[in-house]
Amino acid sequence: MLPDVPAGLAAVYYGTVYLLGRDVPAGDSMLDAVFFKGPFGATGSALHSVVPPAAALLVYALARSGRVGTDPRRILLWFLVGWIGHTIADFVTHVDDTRPLFWPLSGWEWSSPVSYYNPRYYGREFFLLEHGGMLAISLYLLYRRVRGQRKRGPG
């Protein structure tokens, strides 16, 4: 979720500006302002790059190998893996709202043939696959929890 926080902040910002009676961009200009050019656009691009979380993952691995610090539940590790996963998922599901994957090292962008929302680029199929996967994982985790509680017996 971290890479999308700047877009949420931008939406709140522009909503506030609008409620104060000031002019705000409209239509595609608004989307462009929220995601790319507005006050939080550069931050969103930085957070959608694999470079920051990969660098942090390298530091984490080096710190763990030297036994510096503790992370018994590996919360930081899973946070960084999730951040990289979000970035890669966006990379393969964005057609016309792409971001540079290796920013600041490279400005190269790739337009995926699959969109997470646009039906002209398999958006419906992706929606069904994504939500079906989330449902399957949720049911599996629920099953494991219920099964685990039965094995332990009443509380």
Q: What is the pTM of this model?
A: 0.77
b/e code 72-107 from CB counts within 10 Å (16+ = b): eeeebeeebeebbebbeebbebbbeeebbbebeeee
Q: Could you tell me if residue 111 is inside a domain?
A: no
Q: Could you tell me if residue 130 is inside a domain?
A: no
What mean pLDDT is predicted for residues 86-114?
92
Tens digits of per-residue pLDDT, 16-75?
998 999 888 888 888 888 888 888 888 888 899 999 999 999 998 888 776 656 677 788
What mean pLDDT is predicted for residues 3-9?
92
Q: Could you tell me if residue 17 is inside a domain?
A: yes
Q: How many domains does the chain have?
A: 1
Domain span at 35: 1-47
Q: Could you tell me if residue 148 is inside a domain?
A: no
Sign of CA dihedral 124, 126, 131, 135: positive
Q: Could you tell me if residue 66 is inside a domain?
A: no
Tens digits of per-residue pLDDT, 142-154?
999 998 888 776 6
Q: Could you tell me if residue 118 is inside a domain?
A: no
Q: Could you tell me if residue 68 is inside a domain?
A: no
Q: Could you tell me if residue 12 is inside a domain?
A: yes
